[in-house]
Structure 1
Amino acid sequence: MLLKLEELDASNCSNLGVIPSNIEKRSSLRILRLDWTDIRSLPTSICGLPHLQTLELQGCKKLQFLPELPSSLVSLRVTCKPMETFLNLPSLINLKVLLLFYWPKLLKIPKDIVKLAKLETLTLDDINISSLPMELGALSRLKELTIIDCEQIQCLPTLPSSLIILHLRHCSSMNRLPDLSNLKNLSELKIWRCLELIDIQGLGRLELLIDLDLYGRESLETLPDLSNLKKLRKIDTSECKNLNEIRGLDRLESLEYLNMSECKSLERLPDLSRLEMLKELKLSQCQKLREIEGLEALKSLNRVYLTWCTALERIPDLSSLTDLDVLDLGGCEKLGEISGCNSLFRFYR
């Protein structure tokens, strides 16, 4: 029956605990989704599925064992809560996507991860490792690296120059990154709530960077000169409470989005008049900020949020900003006269 089946999705079948041992008879199977089921293991016969490319086991919190998987596998997503032994990596010669979730018993990633020569995407989420192997830098096709809630990890090795996306979130012990200047292809860098991380070496030389998101970096006081990042479109440093300066900000002529909300140490900004592409500006709760120079020249500006900038004393006449729809000045206690707001779609004070 169903011997020509190519895709099987049993996700969220919470009572499913066993996969039939004769599954290899479905030799045409390409996609097997078993997310959020109660399976404890897979049959060893799964290795006999010569065309299996996608195996998804996220949320399978009772999964104790994975047998050798077919070499045809391209994408593997798995929650590994009770598992103690790592995957047999050398057999996965075609693997491009590896996502590992909630593996508290895993203390290190084996060095033979380098044998995943085709790997393009690696996600490690809530895993109890303190470091990554130096061999990670040899994964010459790796494009996306995401590390989330790995609270024991303290540092990263040199990363492969092929990286396009690097996401680090809630890694509370991470205190050191390698020099990132070799990441010539990096377009997206997100570092959230890595509270011990102070310095980002090489940031100013990431000339293809488009998206820079440093949300919640409370230890961060300053950034290197960003003036060479001509392609940068988005900066988010919200809740970087000790940040007092972004050097080169006034020369980022491709910038479309700037969020520095709750940068409570920020006292002044450079003249913003050259940021002709800027569409959205968020500076809410920058409680030491007194003025914003060049705002009236930003013809593309569509939304401005300045709530609870309690030291802000004045803003320029904005009547020339014909695309401005939203201006939120709630809680700006020292702000006097506001000119040029008659045509706004939404004006809050």
Structure 2
Amino acid sequence: MPVLETLGGALFGAVLQVLFDKLDSHQVLHYFRGTNLDEKQLKSLKRKLMDINAVIDDAEQKQFSNSLVKEWLDEVRDVLYDAEDLLDEIDYELFINKSEAQFQSSTSKVCNFESKMIQVLEDLESLSNQKVVQDFKISSGVISGLGVDRTERVSKTTRHLSILKDPVEYHEYQSLSYAKRLRTFMPICRNYEMSIQEVISKFKLLRVLSLSYCRNIKEVPDTLGDLIHLRSLDLSGTQIKKLPNSTCSLCNLQVLKLNKCFCLKELPSTLHELTNLCRLELMETTLKKIPLLLGKLKNLQVWMGGFEVGSNESSIQQLGELDLHGKLSIINLQNIVNPCDALTADLKNKTHLVGLCLNWNFGWNSDDINSIKEREVLENLQPSKHLEDLSLIVYSGTQFPRWLSYNYLSNVVSLTLKRCKYCQWLPSLGLFTFLKHLNIDGLDQIVRIDADFYGNSSSTFESLEMLEISNMREWEEWYCMTGAFPRLQRLSVTKCAKLKGHLPKHLSHLRQLIIHDCKQLVASIPSAVEIEGVKMEPSSFDMIEHLISDTPLNYLSIVSCPSLNILINHCYHFLLVLVISQCGHSFTNFPLDLFPKLWKLQLDKCCNLQMISQGHPHNHLKSLKIERCSEFESFPNEGLFAPQLETFRIEGSDKWNSMPKNMSVLLPSLNHLYIANCPVLEWSDGCLPSNLKAMRLFNCFKLLASLKGAWGTNPSLEFLYIGKVDVEFFSGEGLLPLSLTELIISDCPNLKKLDYRGLCLLSSLEKLHLYNCPILQCLPEEGLPKSISELRIRNCSLLKQCCKNQKGEDWEKIAHIKYIEVDYEKVNIEDKAQVGNY
């Protein structure tokens, strides 16, 4: 089988180690004594397992050259799983009775355990006495990947299963019923069909269950507790709101992953009863509260992600007992009433916590701020010196904490100070030896950045690569220390209206410079031999050329420059990427010939721009975007000659009435075309470029009407999006290219009917999406092309009723389609199978 693999020593070693650990458990020994089972059986089991363990490595090496050895290993695997199942069941009995002293088992259950033990011992005895057995049944494998090879079926000996294909067909799901002894189940596809209840009922012996990002899972049934052998459970990315209390009966559970469960707000209160739990992941899952006694699990490592401090429901003190790992964001810190509570969070000793975000939520105009209390809270939230990433958000104290004022956090790589609007001066951040990224935003009380910021050291900010300062309302002066920022690559200063003077000089490694909304800052470029990108507000384009003529600048963004003037006697050969936004009453023409090396051009909100002029072919331009330039109306008369152009996007041009001429000849490389909100635009002449693969048309009714017959011999167009067209009847005949594989029709409020004559010719069409067509009544009477394998319908209320599962009048027209989604909900695959093909 092409997707089968063989587990190596990791499997046998892990299973054997689990068995040895359980056999050494005094609880298991006590159980045997208490139920009058033969203790000799335990010793015999351990001895036979050791015999197997002694030869397992050699057997694994020989299995690849000797099929009989491979068969013997398969038999060993099965018996080891039987032994593990038996010891798990005994563990479970102990767990549910809570106390060894109160442990009592029924006679029938004891007899059942005894018979299973005898069978396991007999099987192991047979295996130990025979290194190679001639007549073993041939096994088909231990790991399967469902949905890769369509001829493949899951066999009864399959132990580990991943579902790789999306969507998986019904008959493939049916084959799962054979795998009664499945240990691992991991559907990797997001559109997995089987319900979690089905998984639990079919696979009682699961050790690993991963249903991460299965979008149909919104609730977990109480029967989850039946999976008593489960070691690892992953429900990350699902829409669950809670876990059932039965989760706490999974006595063997070691790993629980609940990352990105945005609807999940709390965990079962008795989660601390999972004594074997050693890893709990809650990254990007913000809990309202955590179980009070979770800290009793001393071996538990927690990746929490987010914790919300509640005024009554949850206390920051709960964090003190947890072994926190990864990154943690604590929000609503204003709810801490007593600063001493922050001290009990014990963040200083969370040595495995590498990222910390401390966030208050006062709003912009709160009157109940106690700056003294908030500073004491922050002082008591001192993190570990191993911290690498720190953010302080909406901190309302007037001073930063002492632990931020000296080089205590020497390992910090990234630091963000945001909306700490009462702080009057900055700490000596230049002493942070490994600091690479520094973001200072919204510190309204800072008037001057002086020598204290650098730390009065000869080596200051020696590792800093990115410095971003923004929204500093009162900042007027920046003292620039010579030799600072020796490795700075990106400098951004935005919305600092009162800042005067110059930027730091001699930034030899600077590659990107962004200056925006700093009206009083002297417009100068630091000496930088490596600079590649500049975004600023110059008074003229010529000034930029003059300032950076000796640098390898290749990216330039010009924003809000009312007097922009491109001098026609210059050639700006240094630029590769140019963005011009919100510029110039006099900026009416963009001369493309002056930028011979340009490969990306974006013109946005240039209110008086009317045309792009060109006298020579442009052999480098690959991307052209013209957005919200309301006066734009023309390209060169002969057409736009850009043989390397791949992406062409234009939107919001009310006066543009004709596409560039001769596109099929002058734009041979074009493969993506996007046109939106150009109401008077029409197709000019000729065919579309032969390599065009994707086209999006939105609110361009005249263009769409003029395209009829314009596809010519285009064999490449695969994707077509048509949006906001004011029609009642969509024919498509002569309009839709035969090569289409995906068609989206969206935002057509008056559309009532689709015509079969246009759709039936699309023999390659695989995906049809119908969005926001509220009065679209039904599908064509003749049905849809047989080639369609995916149908998505969203916000089409009348059509939704017609396509109801087995009940709607259009159901038989779509029952053959493999994947159907209506308003983000998938149609149940079993119900579809019952209907069958029509």
Structure 1 length normalisation: TM-score?
0.80
Deviations 1:96-150 (A, max 9, x none): 43222345522443263222233321112345672254466672201110123x3
Work out which of the residue numbers 377, 388, 395 in structure 2 matches 1:143.
388
Distance between the aligned counterparts of 1:255 and 1:101, measured in 2?
35
Return the structure number with greater relative CO, CA threshold 8 A, min gap 6. 1
**Counterpart residue type for residue 507 of structure 2:** L
Change (3 A) 1:216 1:52: same
Find the counterpart in structure 2 of residue 16 from structure 1: 242
Distance between the aligned counterparts of 1:318 and 1:137, measured in 2?
57
Q: CA deviation at 1:206?
A: 0.9
1:48 aligns with 2:275: yes
1:78 aligns with 2:329: no
Find the counterpart in structure 2 of residue 331 from structure 1: 583
Work out which of the residue numbers 326, 330, 343 in structure 2 matches 1:110.
343
SS in 1 for 2:467: strand
Work out which of the residue numbers 549, 555, 559 in structure 2 matches 1:303.
555
Distance between the aligned counterparts of 1:190 and 1:30, measured in 2?
35
Find the counterpart in structure 1 of residue 435 from structure 2: 186
Change (3 A) 1:101 1:136: closer
Does the CA contact (< 8 Å) of 1:27 and 1:50 recur in 2? yes
Find the counterpart in structure 2 of residue 98 from structure 1: 328
SS in 1 for 2:516: coil
Work out which of the residue numbers 468, 473, 484 in structure 2 matches 1:218.
473
**Counterpart residue type for residue 202 of structure 1:** F
Distance between the aligned counterparts of 1:78 and 1:165, measured in 2?
19
Change (3 A) 1:203 1:252: same
Deviations 1:220-279 (A, max 9, x none): 223231542121011111111222234433x11211111111112224315x4x322222
Does the CA contact (< 8 Å) of 2:248 and 2:271 recur in 1? no
Unaligned runs of 5+ in 2: 1-226, 363-372, 604-608, 610-838
Which aligned pairs between 1:159-238 and structure 2 lie closer than 5 A? 159=404, 160-200=409-449, 201-203=452-454, 205-225=460-480, 227-238=483-494
Structure whose CA Rg is larger: 2
Distance between the aligned counterparts of 1:96 and 1:57, measured in 2?
12
Work out which of the residue numbers 103, 122, 128 in structure 1 matches 2:356.
122
SS in 1 for 2:258: strand
Work out which of the residue numbers 39, 43, 54 in structure 1 matches 2:266.
39
Work out which of the residue numbers 209, 222, 229 in structure 2 matches 1:3.
229
Change (3 A) 1:24 1:192: farther
Change (3 A) 1:347 1:166: closer
Find the counterpart in structure 1 of residue 285 from structure 2: 58
**Counterpart residue type for residue 232 of structure 2:** E
Distance between the aligned counterparts of 2:301 and 2:531, measured in 1?
44
Change (3 A) 1:26 1:168: farther
SS in 2 for 1:114: helix
Distance between the aligned counterparts of 1:307 and 1:78, measured in 2?
37
Deviates more, 1:319-328 or 1:185-194: 319-328
Percent identity (aligned): 15
1:254 aligns with 2:505: no
**Counterpart residue type for residue 374 of structure 2:** S
Find the counterpart in structure 1 of residue 680 from structure 2: none
Does the CA contact (< 8 Å) of 1:5 and 1:26 recur in 2? yes
Deviations 1:151-191 (A, max 9, x none): 53443223212211101223333334322232111111012
1:241 aligns with 2:497: yes
Find the counterpart in structure 2 of residue 282 from structure 1: 535
Change (3 A) 1:319 1:230: farther
Deviates more, 1:222-231 or 1:102-111: 102-111
Distance between the aligned counterparts of 1:225 and 1:317, measured in 2?
37
* Higher helix content, 1 or 2: 2
Deviations 1:278-306 (A, max 9, x none): 2221113x67999445221222x222223
Distance between the aligned counterparts of 1:151 and 1:321, measured in 2?
47
Change (3 A) 1:334 1:39: same
Distance between the aligned counterparts of 2:380 and 2:568, measured in 1?
54
SS in 1 for 2:440: strand
Q: CA deviation at 1:32?
A: 3.5
SS in 2 for 1:264: coil
Distance between the aligned counterparts of 1:198 and 1:315, measured in 2?
39
Does the CA contact (< 8 Å) of 1:81 and 1:105 recur in 2? yes
Q: CA deviation at 1:87?
A: 3.5
Does the CA contact (< 8 Å) of 2:398 and 2:423 recur in 1? yes
Does the CA contact (< 8 Å) of 2:230 and 2:250 recur in 1? no
**Counterpart residue type for residue 264 of structure 2:** T
Change (3 A) 1:206 1:57: closer
Change (3 A) 1:95 1:178: same
Distance between the aligned counterparts of 1:173 and 1:49, measured in 2?
47
Deviates more, 1:231-240 or 1:136-145: 136-145
Deviations 1:73-110 (A, max 9, x none): 24212342533422444433463432223455224432
**Counterpart residue type for residue 146 of structure 1:** S
Find the counterpart in structure 1 of residue 93 from structure 2: none
SS in 1 for 2:356: strand
SS in 2 for 1:181: helix
Distance between the aligned counterparts of 1:181 and 1:310, measured in 2?
38
Does the CA contact (< 8 Å) of 1:19 and 1:39 recur in 2? no
Distance between the aligned counterparts of 1:81 and 1:120, measured in 2?
20
Work out which of the residue numbers 507, 514, 519 in structure 2 matches 1:264.
519
Distance between the aligned counterparts of 2:568 and 2:479, measured in 1?
29
Change (3 A) 1:208 1:44: same
Does the CA contact (< 8 Å) of 1:12 and 1:37 recur in 2? no
**Counterpart residue type for residue 122 of structure 1:** L
Does the CA contact (< 8 Å) of 1:176 and 1:197 recur in 2? yes
Deviates more, 1:199-208 or 1:113-122: 199-208
Change (3 A) 1:6 1:155: farther
Distance between the aligned counterparts of 2:332 and 2:383, measured in 1?
25
Does the CA contact (< 8 Å) of 1:291 and 1:313 recur in 2? no
**Counterpart residue type for residue 130 of structure 1:** E
SS in 1 for 2:427: coil
Deviates more, 1:198-207 or 1:210-219: 198-207
Distance between the aligned counterparts of 2:292 and 2:335, measured in 1?
15
